[in-house]
Amino acid sequence: METSPIDAVDPEIAGLVRSEAARQRGVLRLIASENYASAAVLAATGSCLTNKYSEGYPGKRYYGGQVFVDQIERIACARACSLFGADHANVQPYSGSPANLAAYLALLQPGDTMLSMSLPHGGHLTHGWKVTASGTYYRAVQYGVRKDDQRIDFDQVAALAHEHKPKLIVCGASAYPRVIDFARFAEIAQEVGALLLADMAHIAGLVAGGAHPSPVPYADVVSTTTHKTLRGPRGGMLLCKAEHAKAIDRAVFPGLQGGPHDHTTAAIAVALAEAATPGFRDYAAAVVANAAALAEGLLSHGFDLVSGGTDNHLILIDLTNKGVSGKVAAKALEAADIVCNANSVPFDPRKPFDPSGVRLGTAAVTSRGLGTDAMRQIADWIATIVAAPGAANLHAHLGEAVRALTAQHPAPGL
Ligand SMILES: *Cc1c(COP(=O)(O)O)cnc(C)c1O
């Protein structure tokens, strides 16, 4: 058994961490927001930088001892600007949600109107959904997808923009399987004098790797997580045009946060170096090719995919025609070591806690080197399991096949 320094202090937690590592090695991880960070990213995350305090920005700190931290944060920002072609980067947001809140703090006054994608149609909670801070302090008007083809309804976006004159239009999603037309959003924002925030949390790795168009030329501010397709540590990042740099920096600190997580900053810098390599472009292309192959396999088994397929890393299955709920399907799949999440589909008649769909993503399985043949195999397994969601013996049997597959593809970082 491999041991870690945790064992000597806390065997209980050490054992659970070991079990989680074994789980991440053994199962097929199809949760669209998850990935495998590299050993280098994990090492930076676990480094001594967790001991440091550095409120402020490089060259303007409120504490001493910043000689190395300043260099690390400057490098992280420079790499972000160079990779994404941005004027300015702030790498301090603790995660995607605070990054969005900081963007609102920089661009809006309380009570101002934003126009954003609704959660049930694929948007994120932090885009003005009622139960969140964004929905409490701002007035959110929300657009969605068309009923017929389940693509973003730009006629509705334009009509709502002209009717409500929002100060900010928010685009970007957590459960939208198609390319987002950032240029079209920018056009509408310009027509009504709104600012544009593009939240690329899910697709940042695809953008970095050239597998999805970039929002950076079109949006005033771009927010992102760093741990989804971008494959960095848990964290957030804001990119913006030069004219918003001061407001964005002030909103993150002191507006919303205290000391930045310097260990995360270092790990973001490492992840951005990885993302600038030719190998990462190959990974991004493979993520999309794998999603397409998985979608094709699922369609051949009669699955109903939201929007009919995918252009990116994620797939939303509407299980209504299979007579199984999303929760039941996700639970049966997990019994066979295929892990995904239940998800609402647009115009879902079912409740969010037990919705009609499941969401699948190919970033993590691509990071461990699975290819399109494996995707077709996975589609076959999913079809078999969803056809018999109560068959525990079958699930256990397929779980053995799943583990035989994952055993051939070592999980990076673990
Ligand atoms: C995941 C996500 C976020 C939030 O990120 P956290 O790191 O979980 O706070 C924000 N926006 C979108 C579109 C996301 O998918």
Residue located via tokens 């083809």: 149
172 lines ligand 1 (CB under 6 A): yes
Is 344's C-beta closer than 6 angstroms to any atom of ligand 1?
Answer: no
Q: CATH code for 43-275?
A: 3.40.640.10
pLDDT in tens, the chain (414 residues): 678 899 999 999 999 999 999 999 999 999 999 999 999 999 999 999 999 999 999 999 999 999 999 999 999 999 999 999 999 999 999 999 999 999 999 999 999 999 999 999 999 999 999 999 999 999 999 999 999 999 999 999 999 999 999 999 999 999 999 999 999 999 999 999 999 999 999 999 999 999 999 999 999 999 999 999 999 999 999 999 999 999 999 999 999 999 999 999 999 999 999 999 999 999 999 999 999 999 999 999 999 999 999 999 999 999 999 999 999 999 999 999 999 999 999 999 999 889 999 999 999 999 999 999 999 999 999 999 999 999 999 999 999 999 999 999 999 999
Which two three-digit tokens encode residue 232?
Answer: 């960095």
pLDDT of 127 reads: 98
Q: Which residues of 7-21 are buried (b: 16+ CB within 10 A; e: fewer)?
A: beeeeeebeeebeee
Taking the complete model, does pTM exceed 0.85, yes or no? Answer: yes
Residue 124 near ligand 1, beta carbon < 6 Å: yes
Q: Where in the chain is the domain with CATH 3.40.640.10?
A: 43-275
Residue 278: count other Cβ atoms within 10 Å of its Cβ: 8
pLDDT of residue 3: 83
Protein residue whose Cα sits closest to atom 10 of ligand 1:
96
pLDDT of res. 360 = 98
DSSP H stretches of helix in 239-362 = 245-250, 262-275, 278-300, 326-335
Q: How far is the CA of 228 from the centre of ligand 1 (A)?
A: 9
Start and end residues for every CATH 3.90.1150.10 domain found in the chain = 281-407
**Catalytic status, residue 234:** yes
62 is catalytic: no
CATH classification (class only), 281-407: alpha beta
Residue 149, token pair as written in the block: 């083809």
Q: Which of 92, 101, 174 to mutate to test the pocket of ligand 1 (most atoms within 8 A of CB)?
A: 174
Contact (Cβ atoms closer than 8 angstroms) between residue 365 and residue 374: yes
CA neighbor of 320 nearest in space, from 312, 311, 328: 328
* pLDDT reported for residue 349: 96
Q: What sign does the CA torsion over 319, 320, 324, 330 have?
A: positive
Do the Cβ atoms of 315 and 289 come closer than 8 Å? no
End-to-end Cα separation, the chain, in angstroms: 14
52 is catalytic: no
